[in-house]
Amino acid sequence: MISRILIANRGEIAVRIIRAAKELGLKTVLAHSKADRDSLAAKLADETVCIGPPPAVESYLFYQNIISAALATKSDAIHPGYGFLAENWQFADACRAMKIRFIGPKSSVIRNMGDKSKAKTLVKESGVPVVPGSDGEIDSLQKALEVVERVGFPVIIKASAGGGGKGMRIVCEKKDVEKSFNSAAYEAQQAFGDSRVYIEKYIAAPKHIEVQILGDKHGNVLHLFERDCSIQRRHQKLIEEAPSPIIDNETRMKMGEIASKAAQSVGYDSAGTIEFLYDIETRQFYFIEMNTRIQVEHPITECITGIDLIKYQIRIADGDKLDFSQDKLKITGHAIECRINAEDPEKEFNPSPGKISQLIVPGGPGIRIDSGVYPGYSIPPFYDSMVAKLIVWGADRREAVDRMKRALDEFYIEGIKTTIPFHKEVMRNRIFLSGQYTTDFVGKIQNQGV
């Protein structure tokens, strides 16, 4: 049985895991870099161990040090959080080789689903709808031209081994195929050490819908409904809500069933997410990828279902069966999450690291703050810029939006620039309020002032 968990992550997700573990009666060990020795997570963990200098490649990505730390502290399990090593199948394999429980899915699932083109092929074989495009990777310009001829413009060339906007190129004309193919492959090699790419039909302005999955080690797989993650900038999510304001119940259940089927087909046994593009004109949806980890935006699913996803991740890793069935899951109310980042929205969202001289967080009914900062804390420049996640719940979407407006007005951070003004603007925007926003929303309000 798991009794001591080492957290191989930082910031708000490290704090979140520590809290869940403590409520389960488990001891916690935080593996931290030198830059994070004074973090909130370090103050809350039962024990801490330094795993290297500030650069992630020498600490949070150096899994040999993390495994050594787990062995030295007699930790039974490692929770990788999200990012860093969360979707690294070699790390998962190394944990199991040293008889340390990896709190996540099997390494074979991480490997197969982490390869986007392979994942697409696997789920397609299970009858899951996918975006029209290439069957697997494209290894030559001639094959790229053949696919483009078949699916028609516009298309998007994507890196097989990663995401986050790296190794992506949108192509609208035949004359640009060669240049885009070569530059996408080059960028993919630089970002992921893997130049493989594949091609999909480009859906210009879809919704980005993801379905939360939970699977155990006994063959049970359930879905916990969807989240709408369409408000993005450079493929990075900024605001999420659950459920989606425009998905009807019939589509919701169909999407959930297909997501569960896709996860079951690969033997999924942890918390994960199946992501879709949803065309609001045709009302068709298509699989794009699976994330084999907990998502940043998992709290909004917790708010509408009452299910603690981190606790279930830990319990599943410990061999527990899911103790609820699909028909017992219901959506209650509406939840919205705003990612509060140390960025200046008036200067192209440039990072704004520095010392938080004053911090006043919102409170009251339906408000949740997931954060790893405190007054006097200095945000290091080495990692992502997230300060906090502001999560609100309301009996319906209107109450959730009104509550978010009130909470943003109460949120006060001094010493750094944050994205709070941007979120306030979105909460007043007519397109957002209509629920009809798509992935091009941020570009529209920045360039056209809609």
Q: What pLDDT does 269 receive?
A: 97
Q: What pLDDT does 192 receive?
A: 80
Residue 126 domain-assigned (yes or no): no
Residue ranges making up the domain that contains 71: 4-103
| pLDDT of 450 above 80 | no
Its sign, for the CA torsion 116, 122, 126, 129, is positive
Q: What pLDDT does 45 receive?
A: 98
Catalytic residue numbers read: 293
Q: What pLDDT does 135 receive?
A: 84
Mind listing the pLDDT tens digit for each residue in 268-305?
999 999 999 999 988 999 998 999 999 999 999 999 99
Shared domain check, 252 and 272: yes
Answer whether 0.85 is exceeded by the pTM: yes
Mind listing the pLDDT tens digit for each residue in 218-233?
999 999 999 999 999 9
Q: How far is it, in rounded angstroms, from Cα 230 to Cα 206?
A: 8
Q: What pLDDT does 164 receive?
A: 64
Q: Is residue 256 very low, low, confident or very high in pLDDT (cuts 50, 70, 90)?
A: very high
Q: Put residue 262 in one of left, alpha, beta given phi > 0 → left and psi -120 to 50 → alpha.
A: alpha
Shared domain check, 306 and 185: no
Q: What pLDDT does 143 receive?
A: 93
To the nearest whole number, what is the mean pLDDT of the chain?
94
Residue 120 domain-assigned (yes or no): no
Q: What pLDDT does 334 receive?
A: 98
Instruction: Count the neighbouring beta carbons within 10 Å of the beta carbon of residue 180.
Output: 21
Shared domain check, 229 and 376: yes
Q: Is residue 442 very low, low, confident or very high in pLDDT (cuts 50, 70, 90)?
A: very high
Shared domain check, 216 and 178: no
Residue 186 domain-assigned (yes or no): yes
Q: Is residue 444 very low, low, confident or very high in pLDDT (cuts 50, 70, 90)?
A: confident
Residue 271 domain-assigned (yes or no): yes
Residue 19 domain-assigned (yes or no): yes
Shared domain check, 337 and 273: yes
Q: Is 143 helix (H, G, I), strand (E, B) or coil?
A: helix
User: Number of folded domains in the chain?
Assistant: 3
Its sign, for the CA torsion 17, 19, 21, 23, is negative
Residue 260 domain-assigned (yes or no): yes
- % the chain with pLDDT above 90: 84
Q: How far is it, in rounded angstroms, from Cα 111 to Cα 124?
A: 17
Q: What is the arithmetic mean of pLDDT over 77-87? A: 95
| pLDDT of 162 above 80 | no
Q: What pLDDT does 166 receive?
A: 80
Mind listing the pLDDT tens digit for each residue in 393-422?
999 999 999 999 999 999 999 999 999 999
Q: Is residue 449 very low, low, confident or very high in pLDDT (cuts 50, 70, 90)?
A: low
Shared domain check, 44 and 18: yes
Shared domain check, 188 and 68: no
Residue 112 domain-assigned (yes or no): no
Q: What pLDDT does 445 receive?
A: 85
Where are the extended beta strands (E) located within 236-283? 236-242, 271-279
The CATH code of the domain that includes 179 is 3.30.1490.20
Q: How far is it, in rounded angstroms, from Cα 234 to Cα 54?
A: 26
Shared domain check, 213 and 183: no
